[in-house]
Structure 1
Amino acid sequence: MRLKSILLCLVTIIILSACSSSPTGRNQVVLFSEGQMSSLGEQSFTEMKHELPISKEAKINAYVQCVTNAILHYVPIQASFSQWEVVVFDSPQVNAFALPGGKIGVYTGLLNVAVNQDQLATVIGHEIAHVLADHSNERMSHAHIANAGLQISNIALASQDYRNEIMALMGVGVQYGVLLPYGRTQETEADIVGLELMAKAGFDPYQSIELWKNMAKASGGNHTPELLSTHPSHDSRIQELTEKAQRLPVFTGTKPNCVKAS
């Protein structure tokens, strides 16, 4: 019982000292400073730019930058960095990402699935939302806490009294609960915040639904079951985005006109 009490106290102290709230009001545990996260993001992005081919197509770069700039106009100024950087990677991957420190990467393969500016804005808004919601910090913090707990647990493994209980805690709960990149809660939150951003910028939020229909077709129906996936299922995502889009205010300004490269 003493080990369990010590472990509980340590985890409680860490959580209470590092509590914050996400943009949707969800409680978070973040252990690292904004400066630390920005530095890690910049280092990772620099490595990626050295390892992956970067697109030289001027029209593609201008198109991606146009969509991104329209969204960034509605993004608050960040304390840990002054400027967002966008790089288009020449790769067939259907993907995009944003890192702490304002680093955004878009793979050219995404443009085959996100077929217009509104669908591309859905993805870019979603990835920017991950940064605004401090999801990388939250993910790393959870992993850090889990690792600390496992190290303490290893001491107790010498005692048969705790072995079965601790081994259970080290199993599915850790593997699928905190260590997978961006859990489903974070992905859903990024969907919500990202949809709000792209709609504020004048992009059509209902095109987010069409995007995920395209994603479903591109996957050929072969995707990981929702229970063990870091992303919500396509059906769940489409339903949630539809409900959110219906609640957004109608845009009355000038819509962006970002021309996709043919």
Structure 2
Amino acid sequence: NDNNYNIHPNILSLLSIKYLPTLSLNNSIYFIFDYTHNRDLATHGLLYGGTEKQLTNEQIQTYLYQLLSAIIYCHDRLVYHCAIELKHLLITRTGQLKLSNFEYAKHAVCPTMTINTTDLSCFSQCPPELVLGDRTLNSSLDMWSIGCVFAQLCSSTQIEPLFRGNHQIELLFCIFSMMGTPTDDIWPSFHKQTYFNADFPRWPRRNDHLYELTKLIGPEGLDFLKCLLVYDPKRRLKARAALQHPYFNR
């Protein structure tokens, strides 16, 4: 099949599907995609960034805008990527971003479809509601991941994730210790989550780490990041609304 499945300029194109018969019983099917010179955002920033190997704010804006454009295309079709991380964001030599790896993607063909923490490719980017037992599949999962990617792009190394944990409670407490333990005002259904515990430690919100990013992305960028990393998934910024944020008008 030589059809070109080029559905969006910021989604990796499937150029062809080849069936190659072999002498063995295991015949092979090959998927041929765009060639992006083996570069992704996990390495592109280190190799092609600005001073001190850090991406400039303009580069970050450009990549985020392209990522959001691709995600809007997916979400409009009820497709949730569930694997948004730096290594799945490929960069061509002209600086065009290509969203790749739809291995974990889910199509919400029915309202009863659910998701688990094991259904995401990157555990450190699981949103808090998923860690707490909410199995609802919706666009807010990808938007939390985009917030995590945004924070990584602002780092000089882009290696360490924003939140780290080897298991669910460790990841949850890492989020709480940085963002503050949620209250009912911030997240009205927090106490109704499956794995909620009234004895959770009560951390105040720490702004020091996030405010360090202001020097690079400015107050609009910091506000945009906070809109993505909102505890309540119902209040988390949607992809189409995200492109209208003042950060992209800077």
Range of TM-score over shorter length: under 0.3
Which structure is higher in RCO with an 8 Å CA cutoff and minimum separation 6?
Answer: 1
TM-score computed with the length of structure 2 as normaliser: 0.27
TM-score computed with the length of structure 1 as normaliser: 0.27
User: Which of the pair is proportionally richer in helix?
Assistant: 1
**If you compute each CA radius of gyration, which structure gives the higher value, 1 or 2?**
1
